[in-house]
Structure 1
């Protein structure tokens, strides 16, 4: 009996020394405000991993003075120490350099479809029959307010140019492309289109200052 009490007392002391478990809530974002879906939150003490939901939110159980590691494809990892008074954690991940990481982030793996990095508008082939349009010009100007095609270039209203050139950046199936390449796409081959401007296009640096038109084709999935 005496040994049992002693063992229980030792366990209680050990649990106290390790700190009590508590619930921490938080959110993982990119570019300050864009929620990241499926970002991993790993608790150092227990090695348990959690995923953020469709709003970038998470709920974890950890100890006082614990550490959590946050990671998402295409973004730099972050590690945060939990303090005694910590109840809520807001984490803003930064995009890694390199085109491959931009494609990961823009591949809608981590970012909610509804956000599309502050897309002016995004349309998918499930919503529309693109083949009903004669060409890409009709698709763009007919569905994206503020977008115009002038002198063979796409111009998005209310974008600020740092280079003196007003043409929007064009991305086709994850790669930078020319206007002629865009015009050669058959409307029946389009899967989805997104148009971005302002802070949404900041991941493309100065190239995205005039906005970005992103086109994914059905052949690009193969």
Structure 2
């Protein structure tokens, strides 16, 4: 009986100690007009977190290790950073175009991409890095291509193989080596299937 009580006390002490090291953190992300930015990616010391800001521009989490710097990234606006001094609530503002070059292509000739981990999915990647593509949610249209049978969805090709859009949506941005947009005569090799344009993705 004494042994059980002793083990219970040890367990309780350990749990209390662990909980005391966990700290709540609320991050509020806004633009230059103090409007909330939903869907902003949060990074602690340049390490992306698993979730992003909600519809009110708020990100909530619990931390055990205190980061030195907190960043918020929006593909449409840019990136904002702030030094973390231990407070429970952090207000982080992203100025339009601020440090946006941090997510651009480093070397287009060698197809080397930079900081692809900052994108939530391939749709964010296309918005932030690939010109000539209109993306709204999971709807994709290549600019300058006429609709065929009322559809604007391009043909998706991954590593030389035609894939469905559901498969295409599962491609992880950090696995991407290059993205090529084909339209008009360039897409003729795919026949009528490429009439709405083609998005070719090659993995690393």
| Shorter-chain TM-score tier | 0.3 to 0.5
Larger radius of gyration: 1
- TM-score, normalised on structure 1? 0.39
